[in-house]
């Protein structure tokens, strides 16, 4: 006995472009632009206060901050300090 499986074709995956409000009557900005700016600022090592061109309370500002923190990397000296601290805690614990 054969079974027949009916399937419906999946809808094509289309990427929706999300726009974010800058607030204060300024035109909206799209997500990829915010992400590119945040990634570039994080890679360059800029501080968040100097890098974010959007007010923090707006959608655009919140998106920028999230992407910035996801792409920020610890400097080698910071990583070394953390590793030494963790090692010191392991030694001190019985």
pLDDT above 80: residue 23? no
Output Rg (C-alpha) for the chain, integer angstroms. 23
| pLDDT recorded at residue 74 | 58
| pLDDT recorded at residue 53 | 92
pLDDT above 80: residue 36? yes
Angle between helices 31-44 and 59-71 (to 10 degrees): 40
Burial class (CB in 10 A: 0-12, 13-18, 19+), 62: middle
Domain-by-domain residue ranges, the chain? 28-92
Has this prediction a pTM greater than 0.75? no
Q: Are 72 and 43 in contact (CB under 8 A)?
A: no
pLDDT above 80: residue 9? no
């Amino acid at each position: 006995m054969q079974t027949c499986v009916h399937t419906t074709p999946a809808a094509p995956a289309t990427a929706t472009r999300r726009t974010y409000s800058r607030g204060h009557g300024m035109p909206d900005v799209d997500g990829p632009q915010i992400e590119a700016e945040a990634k570039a600022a994080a890679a360059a090592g800029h501080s968040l206060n100097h890098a974010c061109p959007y007010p923090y309370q707006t959608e655009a500002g919140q998106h920028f901050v999230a992407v910035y923190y996801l792409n920020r990397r610890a400097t080698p000296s910071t990583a070394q300090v953390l590793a030494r601290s963790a090692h010191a805690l392991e030694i001190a614990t019985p």
